[in-house]
Amino acid sequence: MQGEIYSIYHLTIEPANFEAFKALVEQIVEATGKEPDTITYEYVVNADRSAVHIVERYRTEGLLPHVEETFTPFADRFLALARIEKLYVYGETTPEIRAKLDGFGAEYLTAFAGFSR
C-alpha cells in the first residue's frame, strides 16, 4: 500500500432513488476516469438496491484532487440521494487527507502483513 490509498465507502439509499443515483454516478465515474492518479473507482450495489459500496484506489497524491475538484460539483446531489454510513481507509494518509476524510466519518486502518501483485 505504499504510495497508495484504498477506501471503501458503505452507503445506504432508498431503492426508489436508485435510478436517479445511478445516472448521477455515471457522470461522476466519467469525470473520475480523467484523473491520472485514480487507479480503481467502482460502485457495487446489493440485490434490493438499498446499499452501495464505492471501492477506490488512488496514488496518494490523487485522493485530494478527486474529492476537492472532481467530486465537489456532484456532492450536494450525491448526498441528497445517498447516506455515507461508513468509510474505511487503508494506506498511508497525510494530515490534509485525514482532515478531508474525517468529514465522512473515516476509520483508518494500517497494513501490518500481506502483499499486492
CB 24 within 8 A of CB 78: yes
The predicted structure's pLDDT at residue 80:
98
Q: Distance (Å, rounded) from C-alpha 1 to C-alpha 92?
A: 7
The predicted structure's pLDDT at residue 117:
83
Question: Could you state, in chain order, the average pLDDT of each consecutive group of 10 residues for the chain (117 residues)?
Answer: 91 98 98 97 98 97 95 97 98 94 94 87
Domain assignments of the chain as residue spans, ordered by start: 4-109
Fold (topology level) of 4-109? Alpha-Beta Plaits (3.30.70)
The predicted structure's pLDDT at residue 115:
87
Which three cell numbers, joined as nine digits, stand for 103? 468529514
Which three cell numbers, joined as nine digits, stand for 21? 443515483
Which residue type sits at 105? G
Closest C-alpha to 67, from 91, 31, 43: 31
pTM: predicted TM-score of the whole model, two decimal places: 0.93
CB 72 within 8 A of CB 90: no
